[in-house]
Structure 1
């Protein structure tokens, strides 16, 4: 009996040692690497932008009042496009156990140019008179500064960020119709710095020598990228009608890149 008890005691001790060793190894394996310090890098990706215009003609002495609803509906159609993008990254992080906090600045560069147009659109309540128009919104670059919070798993880090973003937009609008009695055209061009909000989610995998594989998704929203009014042009005319221009802009960007901690 004493022998059996000793065997059980040794077995329990052995199991306890193995269990503690396994738990210790598991805890050690799950301890995150050091993500504190400053870092910089670059990422390449694709950006998809969408324009939500709110453009309407006023009731002056040229447009028929009954046509205003049709004009607004036509001018205010959403339009979108996509392009390649580059993101330059610089940030600083500090770490408390698995939690990582930081502040990151991004410079976005692209050649995004979204355009919508229509030709030979007949006025809803004016027969045999047609109009054409085009709208274009260009966004070449933007700058964001975002506070970040993340959680580290071994040599992986997942970050969530949100903050302000500032971008330069160019807006162009052209209009003309086929009224045989007049040569009616209208044009409006506006360049504007617009303030928006950027929300991001990024994934990081740290390799040797503090290099990090970086993948991210970013959503931006700008509530007001154009403001203005334009009139109708014709030699020796005195038309009082105006076209009011307003638009919001949103984008989705997916990118991958390489970051260096130092």
Structure 2
């Protein structure tokens, strides 16, 4: 999870460095980009949850079971989705340099499942297990301060800021011993960070076209533990520990109106 977060932060830092490295010379013919604006965007996103779920060494799972279950529980849950966004913000222009802030409400119907099994435990050839994990999310809201550079009818910019979303994680585990129809469900409001880089072109009468790339990262979308022995619980200690992050890459095209 920390590697994903570090890459997201490094990417945002690189984008900001590139923007501030552009020579800030004045261009008298630069168009006025200042003011409030709103728009809609359509895009496509590749997103992935990376579970760090663990089977714990307990009275139910031994160390050999834990090692066998680890790659199953750590399988990446990924998918591609069509996205729609409502955008609103304000830009302030100082000669060619633009400073602003943007709100971004993005709809992304992510609902993906990874299933495994039935597989036989190496520690007990008489017991088979299956595992299925589903991650769901619909809406993400972000607020990103931004900095840009205007060149006549063109504007390029970078931005970074906090994000919030709601995630539902469901894990189903069954084996032919005692853990029959075990279901763990966690619904959580998660906080993350997003960064973007984009370019816009004015087409007249306050309208502009824009394309951008948005990277969004949530370091923790689930956190909990559960006991696998659903058929007559014997040991109150947890048999599973749940954790996961979530990373989304969204490429969009937008129609913007300035007021």
CA separation in 1, counterparts of 2:93 and 2:209?
19
CA 70–28 in structure 1, closer or farther in 2 if over 3 Å, else same: closer
CA separation in 2, counterparts of 1:103 and 1:145?
7
Counterpart of 1:198? 194
Contact 2:72 2:131 in 1 (8 A): no
CA separation in 2, counterparts of 1:79 and 1:235?
28
Q: 1:126 aligns with which of 124, 127, 144?
A: 124
Say whether 1:261 aligns with 2:241: no
Q: Gaps (5+ residues) in structure 2?
A: 1-24
CA separation in 2, counterparts of 1:54 and 1:193?
18
Q: 1:207 aligns with which of 190, 203, 210?
A: 203
- TM-aligned CA deviation for residue 74 of structure 1: 1.4
- Could you say what secondary structure the match of 2:30 adopts? coil
CA separation in 2, counterparts of 1:183 and 1:206?
61
Counterpart of 2:8? none
Which structure features the higher share of helix residues? Answer: 1
Counterpart of 1:165? 163
CA separation in 2, counterparts of 1:165 and 1:153?
30
- Quick check: which has more Rg, 1 or 2? 1
- TM-aligned CA deviation for residue 29 of structure 1: 8.1
CA separation in 2, counterparts of 1:241 and 1:158?
51
Moved over 6 A (4+): 27-30
Greater mean deviation of Cα atoms: 59-68 or 85-94 = 59-68
Normalised by the length of structure 2, the TM-score is 0.86
CA separation in 2, counterparts of 1:28 and 1:67?
66
Counterpart of 1:7? none
CA separation in 1, counterparts of 2:193 and 2:62?
40
Counterpart of 1:150? 148
- TM-aligned CA deviation for residue 60 of structure 1: 1.9
Deviations 1:82-138 (A, max 9, x none): 111111000000111111110000001111112111121222322242110111111
Q: Gaps (5+ residues) in structure 1?
A: 1-26
CA 67–248 in structure 1, closer or farther in 2 if over 3 Å, else same: same
Normalised by the length of structure 1, the TM-score is 0.85
- Could you say what secondary structure the match of 2:205 adopts? helix
- TM-aligned CA deviation for residue 230 of structure 1: 1.3
Contact 1:62 1:241 in 2 (8 A): no
- TM-aligned CA deviation for residue 232 of structure 1: 1.7
CA separation in 2, counterparts of 1:35 and 1:117?
50
Say whether 1:249 aligns with 2:246: yes
